[in-house]
Amino acid sequence: MNRRSIAFKLFIITTVTFITFITLILVIQTVFFQTFYINRKTRILQKNINTFINIFEKNKYDVSKITTADLKSFEGYNNSQITILGIKGDKVTTGVSSHGDNGANVNRVQILEDAINTWAQSFTKDAGSKYLRNTNIYNVEDELKINNLVIITPIVNNNNILGVIFVVAPLQPIDETVQVMKEYYIYILIGAIILVLVLSFIYSNMISKPLIRMNKVAERMSELDFTTKFKIKSKDEIGNLETALNFLSEKLNSTLTELQGANEKLKLDLAKEIELEKMRKDFIAGVSHELKTPLSLIEGYTEGLKDEIVQGEEKEFYLDVIVDETKKMNALVSDMLNLSQLESGNTAINYDLVEVNSLLDRVVKKYTNSFKEKNIDLKLNLLAVTTQVNCDSFKIEQVLTNIIVNGIRHTPVGGVIGITLLDNGSSVLIEIENEGSHIPESDLTKIWERFYKVDKSRNRNLGGTGLGLAITKNILNLHHSSFGVQNTEKGVLFYFTLSKDFSAITN
């Protein structure tokens, strides 16, 4: 076996790992088993002793309340002997124990009595000793050479010792067992090493052979030879890897033949990037165009006033033009800021219950004079019953304003604007139709873009900043509304929905 091969490395790593693991387990068991047993025995006894402490405290430290049945239950469960003494001042007053029964272990009783006498002598000499207030644990070997665990637990209240619990429990003779385990594990270790060597050899070959096979195929793939395929012999991870390499080989082969298609796609992506760049330039051009005219007018009329070339009513006219153009620029900047805030996603929707008939009626009344100026016939069809929708009334009023003003702007003198409310069950549909010229089909989806105008000349006589419908689109998207525009026999119809689902408010 080649020492540089993956099979040899796997064999060595597996063998060393298993032998180390088995040896570590054997050492831990033989060295620490006895200590673990003693610690566990001590921990369980201390936990069960606390039960008597609780009983003692509940009965106001009266030892006589502890029954022989309680003691026998403890001794039976823990295979031990127990005695509880009551102390008042510096004297032992009472004591309870069950080791006077015939079934008591004589050796453990003797150890228990010795422990009590030793502790009592120390208590008589110095009742205030800190040593007497702490739990003492030690081992004592009896006449049968059996180790016994002795636990002395004082019951202290307000720095006074009111009772003491003495427990003696035998430690099972495990020394011989540990010695037998050590000798037995030697044979186990020898057998385990032989088994590990055999299994490591089989395992390393089983893993390395398909890897070597895959390496050869990968070398051919690096030379752009994709004709060699794996014969899948297993359904495990190696089999899955071979399947993946076969799939990779096929994909690479097909990819090489599709470079031409990828090149065409790249051209399309470049064209799309050029279109995006054009849109950016159009936006800058739109802003420049919208600001250039009012700035030029303001500059010209301001210079006329400065040079005092006009007087009287004509001067007033110059001032009115300057004020009007300033208002238009202010409206443009305001719309730009509004649209920027909407597109940034930082705009909060303040949902509320809004009566839709009242909302629409309030907006329409604002433009009564505009309808009269162009002699527009307004046909308003509201809902027959009071209906509430879930929306931000301020922003929806802005949507209605943008669409209605847009309709007034494009409706000829003497034309008709129809506003209709329809109940769609879970939502309300609002339709605003104005007479006038149709929008070219190619422009129906573009009119929602900023600064996009069907009139490519951007005629200032039509008014508007070119941002109203872009703002409208963003507000309706925030309301999850279905909206759109379409040409009709009479002119153009804008529509959008508002939900009647009040969960956004009530939750």
Tens-digit pLDDT profile for residues 374-394: 999 999 999 989 899 999 888
Nearest Cα to Cα of residue 472 among 493, 504, 491, 494: 494
pLDDT of residue 458: 44
> In this predicted model, what pLDDT tens digit does every residue of 163-182 receive, in sequence order?
889 999 888 666 666 667 66
Q: How many Cα atoms within 13 Å fall on the side-chain side of residue 135?
A: 16
pTM: 0.41
Residue after which a domain boundary falls, among 326, 344, 362: 344
In 3D space, the residue among 498, 495, 490, 496 whose CA is nearest the CA of residue 417 turns out to be: 490
- Do the strands 352-355 and 388-391 form a parallel or antiparallel pair, or are they unpaired? antiparallel
pLDDT value of position 457: 44
* 30 in a structural domain: no
Residues 6+ apart with CB under 8 A from 173: 146, 147
Contact 394, 350 (CB under 8 A): yes
Neighbours of 288 (CB within 10 A): 10
Number of domains in the chain: 3
User: Quick one: pLDDT band at residue 358, thresholds 50, 70, 90?
Assistant: very high
Asked if 498 and 378 sit in the same domain, the reply is: yes
Assess whether 318 and 433 both reside in one domain. no
Give 389's strand partners: 354
Q: Could you tell me the strand order of the sheet in which 91-97 lies?
A: 91-97, 81-88, 160-170, 147-157, 136-141
Predicted confidence at residue 174, as pLDDT, reads 63
Q: Which domain holds residue 394?
A: 352-506
Cα distance from N-terminal residue to C-terminal residue, the chain:
72
Cβ neighbours for 265, distance < 8 A, ≥ 6 positions apart:
none
Residues 282 and 339 in one domain: yes
- Whether residue 317 contacts residue 358, with contact meaning beta carbons closer than 8 Å, is answered with no
pLDDT at 238: 66
- Specify whether 136 is located in the same domain as 100: yes
Burial class (CB in 10 A: 0-12, 13-18, 19+), 319: middle
**Residue 180 lies inside a defined structural domain of this protein:** no
Residue 448 lies in a domain: yes
Q: What is the pLDDT of residues 95-104, one digit of tens each?
A: 777 765 545 5
CA triple 84-109-107, angle to 5 deg: 155
CATH number at 315 reads: 1.10.287.130
Contact assessment for residue 84 and residue 100, using Cβ atoms and an 8 Å cutoff = no
